[in-house]
Structure 1
Amino acid sequence: MSQRFNIPKFKLPALVARIGVHLPQWPHAMTLTAGLNAAAKMNLLPMDSLELLEGRSFLVEVLDTGGRACFTYHAGLFRPLFSAPLTPDLSFRANLSAFMQLLARQEDPDTLFFNRELSIEGDTELGLIVKNMLDAVEWPQLPKLPVFSN
């Protein structure tokens, strides 16, 4: 029996974001860049697309957590930026559930964007490069876990 886990649309209470914006933001950037670098090392991200990201700045903001991750791609690595540029080349803003749905491939960026659940601002050409790069990722298949019932 194959069960697919669906991530529901949700929004965390406003208190979470009010607290989250006051917490250090660098751990978010460190974690995100570590994951992106791992994906690049596993050849999940196309090298020709990565080269087009050289020197560009990115911001990922999770609205309902108050979390922000700023990073760049330089000399073959994603690197955290410890202070956000005034105007990043490309920024993505959404609630946690939208990012989770995107990562799980439950929703695509176009649907989230047109449903106003994902905001993308900045360089349009760069945005298309990133979107196409993410669409091309072939996630490795994880082994199926046994389903236990009572």
Structure 2
Amino acid sequence: MPALPALPRPSMLSALLPGSLRQRIGARLNDFRVPSFTVPAPIARIVARLPQQPPTHALTLALNLALGRILPRDALEPLTGRHLQIRVLDAGLRLDFTLAASGFCRAAATARPDLVISATTRDFLALALREEDPDTLFFSRRLRMEGDTELGLLVKNTLDAVDWDALKTKLVGRRSG
């Protein structure tokens, strides 16, 4: 597999936006809560029949952008060559990916995954926005892990180690009191 080209670092949002707009965006991000919703079944049936490569490519692109910046590559080394799958239950998505020497890439959907992480769209969004704790979702059976749970713990602990507040400060800038 060819090496991924180095991506230019995007300008920080805080440098692009005037102070008052940056503060309003920061305030909205602080107050935002993911509403309770489920993807309608007819849409999920359609999405499940569509090729899964485009959303998997979007996921691996986002992970590669984060790799080395907010996701420590050395901590994720045990994921190298392991087949991971994210199932978005209410949307009918199955995203198969792996970590290679060149970064995250799509894994063959025909192979059995080493780790499957399943939840609804709403719960994945709440996790990404740090509104919900993975342990809370896991023990309430809204987040499921199947397969190599040691890999699951590695992923969870790596995400828990990310300083999300520092990242948000970099992106939005400091709010004035």
TM-score (norm 2): 0.75
Matched, 1:143 2:172: yes
Structure 2 counterpart of 1:74, from 100, 105, 116 = 100
The offset of 1:86, in angstroms, is 3.9
Match of 1:31 in 2: 58
Any runs of at least 4 consecutive aligned residues in structure 1 with deviations exceeding 6 A, and if so which?
Answer: none
After superposing the two structures, state which structure 1 stretch, 7-16 or 58-67, moved more. 7-16
Count of equivalent residues: 143
Aligned ranges 1:10-89 → 2 under 5 Å: 10-42=37-69, 44-81=70-107, 83-89=108-114
Correspondence list, 1:129-140, <5 A: 129-139=154-164, 140=167
The structure that is helix-richer by fraction is: 2
Aligned-pair RMSD on alpha carbons? 1.8
Paired-residue identity, %: 48
Q: Given residue 103 of structure 1, which amino acid in structure 2 is its aligned partner?
A: A
- Extract unaligned runs of 5+ from structure 1: none
Q: Decide whether the 8 Å contact of 2:98 with 2:104 is kept in 1.
A: yes
| Residue 90 of structure 1 pairs with residue 115 of structure 2 | yes
Is residue 33–residue 71 contact of structure 1 (8 Å, CA) maintained in 2? Answer: yes
Please name the residue that 2:6 is paired with: none
Structure 1 residue 25, shift from structure 2 partner: 0.5
CA contact (8 A) 1:65 1:96 kept: yes
User: Does the 8 Å contact 2:76/2:154 carry over to 1?
Assistant: no
Letter of the 2:172 counterpart: P
Residue 48 of structure 1: how far off its partner (Å): 2.2
How many angstroms apart in 1 are the aligned matches of 2:111 and 2:35?
33
Query: Which residue identity is paired with 1:124?
Result: T
TM-score by length of 1: 0.88
Is the partner of 2:42 in helix, strand or coil?
A: helix
- For residues 113 and 71 of structure 1, the distance between their equivalents in structure 2, rounded to whole angstroms, comes to 22
Structure showing greater radius of gyration is 2
Structure 2 residue runs of 5 or longer lacking an equivalent are: 1-23
Change (3 A) 1:59 1:87: same
